[in-house]
Structure 1
Amino acid sequence: MAATQKLHRCVVSQTGKHSASIIFLHGSGDTGLGLRGWVRDTFHLAFPHIRIIYPTAPARPYTPMRGALSNVWFDRHKISRDCPEHLDSVDGMCSTLGSILQDEIQAGVPKHRIVIGGFSMGGAMALHLACRYHPEVGGVFALSSFLNKDSVVYQAVEERRTRALSLPELFQCHGSSDDLVLHEWGEQTGAQLRRTGMSVSFHTLPGLQHQLCAPELELLRAWLLRKLPPVEHAD
C-alpha cells in the first residue's frame, strides 16, 4: 500500500480552539462515516478542543472473505490469535495512516496531544501504529480488539521498555459476551502488553457483544479527557 495514498476522512470538528486530535479507526468492512454514525447514535462523543478523525480503509481483497473486496486496514490469514500476522499489509497501512498524524502535526497539534484508537480490527491497527511507529502519541485505545499471540507489537513494546523509552498508555474495553472477537483474546492482549511494559487499563462490559455501548464510550471519553485535557490544564 503506497504511503502517499489519501484516505477518505470523516471529521468531527472541535467547537473551540483546536489543541488535540483523535484518530478513530473502524472495524473490518465498515467506513469512517459508518463508525461516526454508530458513535453518534450511541453516545455524544464530541469535545470543545479535540478534533476526531474517522478515516476509511481502502477496499482490498480480504482472505477471511475468500478474497472478496472489503474495507479493511490489513489482511489476515484467518481470524485467530494463533496465526502469523500479515505484516506486509499492516506495515503498508501504518505508512498510509502516518500521513494523518503528520497533517495534524502540521496543523499545530503536538504529537503527544494525538490519541490513536479503534474498534475491532481498528484497535489492532491502532496498536501497531502507536506502539511500533508513533510511540510518542498521547495514548492508544482498543475496543473489542486483539493482537495475534506472537504479534510484533509485543516485541516492539518490550524493546522500548528494555531501552527505557516511553510508551503510550493503553485503554481497552471488551464485552463479556463477544463471540466474534472473544473476550479472552482481548484480555490476553492487554495482559501481555502489561507484562512487556505498557500501562494498560482493561474494562469488561458485562453482557456486551461485538458492539459499542454508551457506558463504554463514557469510560473512553473520561480517559480521553485525562490524556488530552484543555490546553489551559495541560501538563
Structure 2
Amino acid sequence: MAASVQRLQKCAVSPTGKHTASVIFLHGSGDTGQGLRAWVRDVITPELAFSHIRVIYPTAPARPYTPMRGALSTVWFDRLKISQDCPEHLESLDSMCSTLGAVIEEELKAGVPKHRMIIGGFSMGGAMALHLACRYHPDVAGVYALSSFLNKDSIAFQAVEQRVAAGQSVPELFQCHGTKDDLVLHQWGEETWSVLRKAGMAATFHSIPGLYHQLSRPEMELLRSWILAKLPPDGP
C-alpha cells in the first residue's frame, strides 16, 4: 500500500527560527498549494508565517471530478454532487488520507511530534482536513475548516463519536464561515460544527460578517491567534 502512495507537490513557508511545530493547509477544489499561499499572502500581511512553525501547502493531484462531468481538476476527493445529502466517495477520501499521511510522516521525520501539528483547509480542503484529523490522525493538536462542511452522515462524525465513547482524545476544531457565502453552505458549515461539538469535540465556530466564499483578513487573524494558542513557541 505504501509503495502506491503518490508524492504530492507542495510549497512551504519556513519558520524564521527553530522548527518545532507544523501546519498543513489544504486548498479548495481546483486550486493549488501555491495558489492558496499566494491568496493568503494577499489577505494577511505579513503572510501566515511564524518563528517556530512550518506552514505547508500541498497540491491535490488532478483527478476526474464528477461535478465537472468528469473533467480533470485538482481536488482532494470526488463526490457525486456538492450536497450534504449524497453519500461520501470513500474510496477517493481514504486514498487521499494515505497520500496526505506521507506529508505528516515527513514532519515527524523532521522531529515534529503530532501533538505539535495542526491540519486545516479552505472549502473542500477543510472537509479533507476533517477526515484526515478525525479518522486517521486524532492525536494532532487541532484541525480547522474555513468555509467547509461535511455530509450529513459523514464517517468522520462516526469516528469522533466512537473515540469519545471509548475515552480517547480527539483534536480541537476551529471553524469559520462567511455570512454572505451561499446561505445553504453557511448552514451546512454550522451544522457540521454542531454535530462534531455534540459528538464530543471542543469546537469553535466564527461567522464572519459580510464574507463570501473566500478568505478575509479578520478570519486569518483569528486563525493565526488560534494556531499560536495551540502551538506556542515554548510548547511541550
Q: Same fold (TM over 0.5)?
A: yes
CA contact (8 A) 1:131 1:157 kept: yes
Which residue matches 2:232?
A: 229
Match of 1:31 in 2: 32
Using the size of structure 1 for normalisation, the TM-score is 0.97
Q: Structure 1 residue runs of 4+, over 6 Å off?
A: none
- Looking at structure 1, the residues matched to 8 and 109 of structure 2 have their Cα atoms a distance apart, in angstroms, of 17
Which residue among 75, 80, 83 is the counterpart of 2:83? 80
* Secondary structure of residue in 2 paired with 1:222: helix
Pair 1:215–1:8, CA change in 2 (3 A)? same
Q: Could you tell me which residue of structure 2 aligns to residue 5 of structure 1?
A: 6
Could you report, residue by residue, the CA deviation over 1:56-109 in whole angstroms, capped at 9, with x for unpaired residues? 000000000000000000001100000000000000000000000010001000
Unaligned runs of 5+ in 2: none
CA contact (8 A) 1:144 1:181 kept: no
The structural deviation recorded for 1:45 is: 1.2
**1:175–1:207 contact (8 Å) kept in structure 2:** yes
Trace 1:50-199 onto structure 2 (pairs within 5 A).
50-179=53-182, 182-199=185-202
Give me the identity figure in percent: 71
Count matched residues. Answer: 233
* Structure 1 residue 182, shift from structure 2 partner: 1.4
Q: In 2, distance between residues paired with 1:216 and 1:88?
A: 32
CA separation of 1:190 and 1:3: change in aligned 2, threshold 3 A: farther
- Once structures 1 and 2 are overlaid, which stretch shifts more, 43-52 or 116-125? 43-52
Q: TM-score, length-normalised on structure 2?
A: 0.97
| RMSD over equivalenced CA pairs, Å | 1.2
The answer to whether the 8 A contact 1:140-1:171 is kept is yes
Residue 212 (str. 1) matches residue 215 (str. 2): yes
Give 1:146 deviation, angstroms.
0.1
CA distance in 2 between counterparts of 1:3 and 1:123 reads 25
Query: The residue matched to 1:209 in structure 2 has which SS?
Result: coil
Counterpart residue identity of residue 8, structure 1: Q
Residue 146 of structure 1 contacts residue 181 of structure 1 at CA under 8 Å; is this kept in 2?
no
Distance 1:146 1:3, change over 3 A: farther
